[in-house]
Homo-oligomer: A and B are copies of this chain.
Amino acid sequence: MGLIRKILNSRSKDEDGNFFVHLQRVLGFKPKDFEVYKVAFTHRSTNIKDDQGNPINYERLEFLGDAMLSAVISKYLYEEAPAGDEGYLTKMRSKIVSREHLNELGKELRLLDYVVSSISKESFGDNVHGNLFEALVGAIYLDRGYNYCERFINKRVIKPHVDIERLEGKIISYKSLLIEWCQKEKKSFYFNVFEDNGNDVLKHFAVKLSIDNKVIAKARATSKKKAEEAAAKRAYFALQSQIENL
Residues of A participating in the B interface, judged by any CB pair closer than 8 Å: 50, 52-55, 59-60, 62-64, 66-68, 70-71, 73-75, 78, 82-86, 89-90, 93, 138, 141, 146-147, 234, 237-238, 240
Contacts of A146 in B (CB 8 A): 71, 146-147
A186 to B71, CA, bound (A): 51
Specify which of A66, A73, A234 lies most central, judged by the most chain B CB atoms within 10 Å of its CB. A66
Asked if residues B71 and A89 are in contact (CB atoms below 8 Å), the reply is: no
Flag if B237 contacts A52 (CB, 8 Å).
Answer: yes
CA distance A68 to B68 in the complex (A): 8
Distance in angstroms between the alpha carbons of A52 and B141 in the assembled complex: 36
**Known pairs A53-B240, A60-B78. 5 more at Cβ < 8 A?**
A52-B234, A55-B85, A59-B85, A63-B86, A67-B75
Interface contact B82-A63, CB-CB below 8 Å: no
Chain B contacts for A141, CB-based, 8 A: 75
Complex Cα–Cα for A122 and B93 (A): 33
Contacts of A54 in B (CB 8 A): 82-83
Max chain B C-beta neighbours (<10 A), residue from A68, A90, A146: A146
Question: Shortest CB–CB separation between residue A216 and chain B, in angstroms?
Answer: 12
Contacts of A240 in B (CB 8 A): 53
